[in-house]
Amino acid sequence: MLNQKLQQRLIQKLSPQQVLVMRLLQQPVMALEQRIKQEIEDNPALEESSPDEDEKDELDDVLPDSLESDEDEFRDENDEESRDENDDFTIEDYLSEDEIPEYKLYANNTSSDDEIKETPLASGISFQDYLLSQLGMHRVTDKQYIIASTIIGNLDESGYLLREIHALCDDLAFNHGIEANEKEVEEVLSIIQEFDPTGIAARDLRECLLLQLERLPHGSKIIENAMTIMKDYFIEFSKKHYEKIMLKAHLSEQELKDAITEIQKLNPKPGISISDISREGNYIIPDFFISNHGGILDLTLNSRNMPDLSPNHQYIEMLREYSTGGKNASKSSKDAAAFIRQKLDAARNFIDAIRQRQDTLYITMKAIMDYQKDYFLTGDETRLKPMILKDIATTINMDISTVSRVVNSKYVQTPFGTFLLKSFFSESMQNTKGEEISTREIKKILQDCIEGEDKSDPYTDDHLVDLLKEKGYNIARRTIAKYREQLDIPVARLRKEL
């Protein structure tokens, strides 16, 4: 049975302006530049400008002080009474009496003494394109060329062929209509493996290292021992069972050490040696810059490539012309004025959202810089304080989700390097003196202990527990193992060297 009833509910609802600010807030500087360009293309009432500092306050007067109500935005177009009421607006909401002449909106404030900070861009080719260029220098049939192109296209970033030969045969049959057996594919694969860089198109690490050893001058005992280890004792070598290798291969400790030294000179990832520098991911564009001026930290936002935005003054002039008739204007004039007003509202909202984003970014990063002042002054990771999102949110009186959006995918350039903002956040632990310390500090001390160990007899996790306990850090063995894995440090057996 259907029935109708009135019900009151209290709910929270984000306005479109708040949603826009949140979306812009979590975007890094490169993504924001693209977002601004897209908005300028979509909204003709928004344009780039280069106003003087003194003219910015006057330019703000062009924008209305308040947003249109949601009722105006979602009004019923069929309701003529509602249309007439909503179209009754004043042009003064959008224009100031002393409108800025257009010639004043353009300024050239640069000089030869200004420091120009630009990100250098380089172009290049991927290693797949590099291999295809080498393929063109060999005499191959059309069928072999297609097979080679398929093999090269299946190489991963490190230069390895991880796809099975029989699967490549299926790809050739389905995608190119070519019947090729595994022998033909392996023959073409052997041709590609002769290309530069050495070791390319290997199917595993053992084959990659062997391909590189085979290119070295033969006749050397060290090279022969290295090839023997790779061919017959690769598993023992990967697990660093050196005693077994010396016993089975009848090698002395010095001979084994020389062979291992030669193997360590090889490149386990030959594809990376020809880096694809055209990829955007190879560059980190910092969102903040922190500099130290005699013990005083200075924070700046990276807005070098961010244009100054303003409403399109042609649209403002059009709005003035269409609004001169007031209520006596024709329906087409009212529709045109409503359209222009909508675009100007959208432009104003976007400009306000950009400004609010910049203010929020600066306030949040300033709080982080002040909280970790000792670190930014010295660069010593042991000076990092325990810090969580709630600490910064309480300091700047904002929600934790806002701080999370700020630190997401954002980088800061310091005198000691460029770092992800998230790396400055860490949990706290207590040392034997009861002092609150950061887990980053413990990881740094753990890394220093491992770097200073005797590589012929590296520290086990139990030994590291005792070392940290002597330094005043009471850490469990499983915690040591977790931190070691986070630092990408292998177990003691794999760190052993002759």
Do residue 231 and residue 190 come from a single domain?
Answer: yes
Give 70's pLDDT tier (boundaries 50, 70, 90).
very low
Query: Domain for residue 3, yes or no?
Result: no
Strand, helix or coil for residue 454: coil
Do residue 258 and residue 334 come from a single domain?
Answer: no
Q: What is the DSSP letter of 197?
A: S
Averaged pLDDT for residues 333-352: 84
Q: Determine how β-strand 411-414 pairs with β-strand 288-293.
A: parallel
Do residue 331 and residue 388 come from a single domain?
Answer: yes
Do residue 310 and residue 414 come from a single domain?
Answer: yes
Q: Which has the closest alpha carbon to 349: 17, 14, 35? A: 17
- The helices-and-strands tally (H runs, E runs) of the chain is 22, 8
pLDDT digits (tens, 9 = 90+) for 416-427: 888 888 888 877
Reduced DSSP (H G I as helix, E B as strand, rest coil) percent helix, strand, coil of the chain, to 5: 55, 10, 40
Q: How many other C-beta atoms are found inside a 10 Å radius of the C-beta of residue 84?
A: 11
Do residue 139 and residue 224 come from a single domain?
Answer: yes
Q: Are 336 and 322 in contact (CB under 8 A)?
A: yes
Of residues 172 and 94, more confidence is placed in 172
Query: Domain for residue 246, yes or no?
Result: yes
User: Which CATH number covers residue 432?
Assistant: 1.10.10.60
In this structure, what token pair is assigned to residue 226? Answer: 């290295």
Count of structural domains within the chain: 3
Between 160-169, 258-267, 377-386, the lowest mean confidence (pLDDT) is in: 377-386
Do residue 35 and residue 154 come from a single domain?
Answer: no
**Tell me, what amino acid is at 147?**
I
* H or E element, residue 288: strand 288-293
Do residue 95 and residue 70 come from a single domain?
Answer: yes
pLDDT for residue 381: 78
Supply the DSSP string of 91-121, one letter for each residue.
GGGT--SSPPPGGGG------TTSPP-----
Residue where one domain finishes, among candidates 222, 238, 273: 273
Full domain range(s) for residue 213 = 127-273
Query: Domain for residue 121, yes or no?
Result: no
Do residue 258 and residue 163 come from a single domain?
Answer: yes
C-alpha to C-alpha distance for 125 and 275, rounded to whole angstroms: 8
Q: What is the pTM of this model?
A: 0.55
Do residue 410 and residue 290 come from a single domain?
Answer: yes
Q: Which has the closest alpha carbon to 36: 51, 22, 47? A: 47
Do residue 154 and residue 252 come from a single domain?
Answer: yes
Q: Are 407 and 367 in contact (CB under 8 A)?
A: no
In this structure, what token pair is assigned to residue 284? Answer: 């980190």
Do residue 329 and residue 400 come from a single domain?
Answer: yes
Query: Domain for residue 148, yes or no?
Result: yes
Q: What is the DSSP letter of 327?
A: G
Between 170-184, 221-235, 264-278, 376-390, the lowest mean confidence (pLDDT) is in: 264-278
Q: Which has the closest alpha carbon to 106: 51, 48, 47, 59? A: 51
Between 51-60, 300-309, 444-453, 479-488, the lowest mean confidence (pLDDT) is in: 51-60
Query: Domain for residue 5, yes or no?
Result: no
In this structure, what token pair is assigned to residue 351? Answer: 């400009």
Helices 221-232 and 242-249 pack at an angle, to 10 degrees, of 110
**How far are the Cα atoms of 49, 125, 456 from residue 104, in angstroms, in the given order?**
10, 45, 73
Query: Domain for residue 6, yes or no?
Result: no
C-alpha to C-alpha distance for 369 and 372, rounded to whole angstroms: 5
pLDDT digits (tens, 9 = 90+) for 377-396: 888 877 888 888 888 999 99
pLDDT digits (tens, 9 = 90+) for 472-482: 778 888 888 88
C-alpha to C-alpha distance for 276 and 122, rounded to whole angstroms: 10
Q: Is the pLDDT of residue 127 over 60?
A: yes
Do residue 21 and residue 65 come from a single domain?
Answer: yes
